[in-house]
Amino acid sequence: MSKKKGIISLVAVLAVTALVLYTAIFGIGEDGSGSMADINLGLDLRGGVSITYEAVEENPSEQSMEDTKEKLQDRVENYSTESQVYMEGSNRITIDIPGATDANEILKELGEPGTLIFCTDANDPEGTMVMDGNDIKNAQGYMNSQATDSRDRYIVQLTLTEDGRQKFAAATEELAETQGVLYIIYDGEVVSAPRCEQKIDSETCEINGMSSLDEANKLASTIRIGALPVELKELRSSVVGAKLGEEAVQTSLLAGVIGLAIIIVFMIAVYRMPGFAASIALILYTGMIIVLLSAFNQEITLTLPGIAGIILSIGMAVDANVIIFTRIREEIGMGKNVNTAIKAGFSKALSAIIDGNVTTLIAAAVLYIIGSGTVRGFAQTLALGIVLSMVTALFVTRTLIKALYAMGLQSEKLYGKVVHKKTWNFLGKKNLCFVLSGIVILVGIGTMVFYGVKGDALNYGLDFKGGTSTSVTFNENRTISQLNDEVKPVVAEVTKDNDIQLTPVQNSNEVSIKTRELTQEERETLYQKLTENFGVDESTITYENIGATVSGEMQKSAIQAVVIAAIFMLIYIWFRFKDIKFASSAVAALIHDVLVVVAFYAVLRWSVGNTFIACMLTIVGYSINATIVIFDRIRENLKEKKMELAELVNLSISQTLTRSINTSLTTVIMVIVLYILGVESIREFALPLIVGIVAGTYSSVCVTGALWYVMKVKFSGKKDKESFKKQTEKKAVKR
């Protein structure tokens, strides 16, 4: 690149960065609000609409209400993946939709039961309708253990009314002549299309061909809901304020700015000219994140777990640059000139960056497809951040460094030089590390068993267990900060628990106070204290027992998503590294990190709430990226260096140690600033995240490489073992 082209490239990147920042902060429209103001914030950060429905039927069955709740959860996720649906008592369902402002519009769409019909033409459902939901008594998913065809192993059994039996018999008799299809349509969408092979004249019939019991249960649930006579009516609706409040948003933004500034100073101080280039790329990355979150505000709702995804992606954006700069320094240390070192640095760092980011992107994709609620929100922001981090590191940073070099900034001192003279004996401490990790994990398991015998293994919060919602009307309007400072301590004095959610209702003095389930005596004490301390009218205080916002289905889908994501990551690493031992040791390290953090949750009795899932997912994504970098260096050294395997592993970990420390340091800086400046709810989230980052760094450096080495030596073929033996003998002779 010539000097002229270098100047043009630099000016172009700076101009684009300035434009993106201007758009993010001030916007390009007439209102001057900027993209930041258009980001769709969740209920915890901005508030939204809260609607409570009551069943018209006097005593609806538990199954009916549960089915209705699950279907409403599916519907409200069209508004936001962060929407929450939970039970109030035995016949009420409450829906919280973040960012929404028009309760009446939502009521029109959610208040009516779904319409279920069976027809012979999906394009003309009303004209070819065979029967509707009123003709179905029940539907249940089963596994047919007697089936000889594995495809028919999972079925849905329908129980029909007498009218339904007659309609179904007539329809299937006609369809059987041509092997026709009977379409099952719910709310205008085809949910199943079974082919009729014979006339069915029975009170019960089966739909087969499902691939899993979950699929069968889901179809059965949909049919049951469409068939239910349960009718919902609006009990109350309101626009509620943020659970965390404006203060949480402002402190999070301030923490982000301060954390980013510290990272920029660190990058320039440590990596000099490349650090300066990376800082500009990082600023551009941050601006692009804001602009894209605004552009996709209909699809992405930013909540606390979403912020976790952004924090992780910022760490990975820094990580990509650190990997590149470390390689450039090593190339200079081997005697290459700066220009050649820059080219080699980007080239040699490419595989580690791609593998690390693609592995995490696979996890994000699986989490989005299979997960629900906060899991999907986390996956969206994480995936967006990963793609942007790769673009800025591989293209923007590279363009800037080449431009600065072409402009004459070519001195070796501006780029640094590293000569690896010392190789740390990490494998020599592997047994100690294995024992230390085992002790921490066993202590965690033992603690969970101890508390599990008494009740709950972990300190499950409101999101997982449900509790009591107390509605209080104060004499004056109170901000969320005032509620946290003045009201929360009074409530905590009664509940002996800090897991308290305070949600103000906008345009009123009413506040919803959610706590663990209270006894009658505790409720009476709470009412008395609220009256004494704030002068509220006790006769206006009401309460309801509420269900968990993190449903059993959401927990199950989160676990399934993590397991499947781990399997896909294992397959990808196996494919890329051509060695199952790399893949299995990487996944083992992920399990290690999760168990270590869970141990801290158990021992310190940290509240396990909605952010617990996001915290675990962040740790998984962070840890795998660090492991990939070390494995990439081991793979490279296996091809290029002839030495004893243990020495090669120690060398590889030593060569990437600076990267491991610096990347973890920059990421943890962001989280520490968030912990220091954040409100209590954010600190409860940041603290486990810090533990997870430290655990992930520790496992990548001290555990993963050692695990791979042990498996390589113990489970390798005869040829490999003889090769290891010869390498060791040659080393002994040289000494």
SS3 of residue 229 by DSSP: coil
pLDDT, one tens digit per residue, over 378-434 is 778 778 888 888 888 889 999 999 999 999 999 999 998 887 667 889 999 999 999
Q: What gap in Å lies between CA 268 and CA 278, rounded to an integer?
A: 8
| pLDDT of 150 higher than 60 | no
| pLDDT of 276 higher than 90 | yes
pLDDT, greater one: 20 or 47 = 20
> Which pLDDT belongs to residue 525?
93
H-run or E-run covering 155: strand 154-160
- Of 18, 396, 287, the C-alpha closest to 404 is 396
| pLDDT of 147 higher than 90 | no
Could you identify the residue written with the tokens 């919280």?
Answer: 96
DSSP string, 270-304: HHHHHHHHHHHHHHHHHHHHHHHHHHTTTT--B-H
Q: What is the CA angle 360-278-385, rounded to 5?
A: 30
Stretch 641-653: mean pLDDT: 89
Stretch 472-499: mean pLDDT: 87
Stretch 219-248: mean pLDDT: 69
> Which pLDDT belongs to residue 491?
93
Contact 586, 657 (CB under 8 A): no
Stretch 268-284: mean pLDDT: 92
Stretch 317-327: mean pLDDT: 85
Stretch 468-488: mean pLDDT: 86
> Which pLDDT belongs to residue 44?
63
> Which pLDDT belongs to residue 689?
85
Q: Distances from the Cα of 326 to the Cαs of 270, 314, 322, 429, 629, in angstroms?
A: 11, 18, 6, 25, 12
Q: What gap in Å lies between CA 685 and CA 308, rounded to an integer?
A: 9
* Averaged pLDDT score across all residues of the chain: 82
What letters, b where the CB count within 10 A reaches 16 and e where it falls short, cover 587-613?
bbbbebbbbbbbbbbbeeebbbbbbbb
pLDDT, greater one: 222 or 17 = 17
Tell me, what DSSP letter sits at residue 198?
S
- Of 148, 276, 126, the C-alpha closest to 208 is 148
Which percentage of the chain shows pLDDT scores above 90? 27
> Which pLDDT belongs to residue 133?
82
> Which pLDDT belongs to residue 668?
86
Taken in order of first residue, the domains within the chain and their CATH numbers are 3-39+243-411 (1.20.1640.10), 48-113+234-240 (3.30.70.3400), 116-227 (3.30.1360.200), 427-443+554-734 (1.20.1640.10), 467-546 (3.30.70.3400)
> Which pLDDT belongs to residue 494?
93
Q: What gap in Å lies between CA 618 and CA 600, rounded to an integer?
A: 16
Q: What gap in Å lies between CA 549 and CA 554, rounded to an integer?
A: 9
Contact 408, 109 (CB under 8 A): no
Q: Mean pLDDT highest for which of 32-41, 148-157, 469-478, 602-611?
A: 469-478
Lowest mean pLDDT among 233-242, 464-473, 516-525, 562-571: 233-242
Confidence class for position 733, pLDDT limits 50, 70, 90: very low
Q: What is the CA angle 560-449-698, rounded to 5?
A: 65
The first and second tokens of residue 729, run together, are 């003998």
pLDDT, greater one: 592 or 505 = 592
Lowest mean pLDDT among 158-167, 231-240, 423-432, 488-497: 231-240
pLDDT, one tens digit per residue, over 342-360 is 999 999 888 888 888 888 8
Q: Which residues contact 322 (CB under 8 A, 6 or more apart)?
A: 271, 658, 659, 662, 663, 666
First-to-final CA distance of the chain: 48
pLDDT, greater one: 397 or 614 = 397
The first and second tokens of residue 265, run together, are 């100073």
> Which pLDDT belongs to residue 247?
62
The first and second tokens of residue 101, run together, are 């402002």
Confidence class for position 734, pLDDT limits 50, 70, 90: very low
pLDDT, greater one: 510 or 146 = 510
Could you identify the residue written with the tokens 């990437």?
Answer: 656
H-run or E-run covering 512: strand 510-515
The first and second tokens of residue 480, run together, are 């969320």
Stretch 449-458: mean pLDDT: 89
> Which pLDDT belongs to residue 389?
84
Q: Does pTM surpass 0.75? A: no
Strands 116-119 and 183-186 come out as antiparallel
Q: What is the 3-state secondary structure (H, E, C) of 390-429?
A: HHHHHHHHHHHHHHHHHCCCCCHHHCCCCCCCCCCCCHHH
Q: Which residues contact 626 (CB under 8 A, 6 or more apart)?
A: 319, 660, 663, 664, 696, 697, 700
What sign has the CA pseudo-torsion 513, 519, 523, 528? Answer: negative
- Distance, CA of 234 to chain centre: 32
Stretch 263-268: mean pLDDT: 91
- Of 131, 146, 143, the C-alpha closest to 184 is 131
Lowest mean pLDDT among 359-373, 514-528, 572-586: 359-373
Q: Which residues contact 411 (CB under 8 A, 6 or more apart)?
A: 338
> Which pLDDT belongs to residue 728?
47
> Which pLDDT belongs to residue 83?
78
pLDDT, one tens digit per residue, over 50-98 is 788 888 778 888 877 887 787 777 767 767 766 778 887 788 888 888 7
Q: Mean pLDDT highest for which of 202-211, 668-677, 715-724?
A: 202-211
Confidence class for position 731, pLDDT limits 50, 70, 90: very low
| pLDDT of 339 higher than 80 | yes
> Which pLDDT belongs to residue 34?
62
For 183, phi then psi, to 5°, come to -90, 135
Q: At what angle do helices 62-76 and 213-227 cross, to 10 degrees?
A: 100
- Of 600, 649, 228, the C-alpha closest to 443 is 600
| pLDDT of 732 higher than 50 | no
> Which pLDDT belongs to residue 223?
83
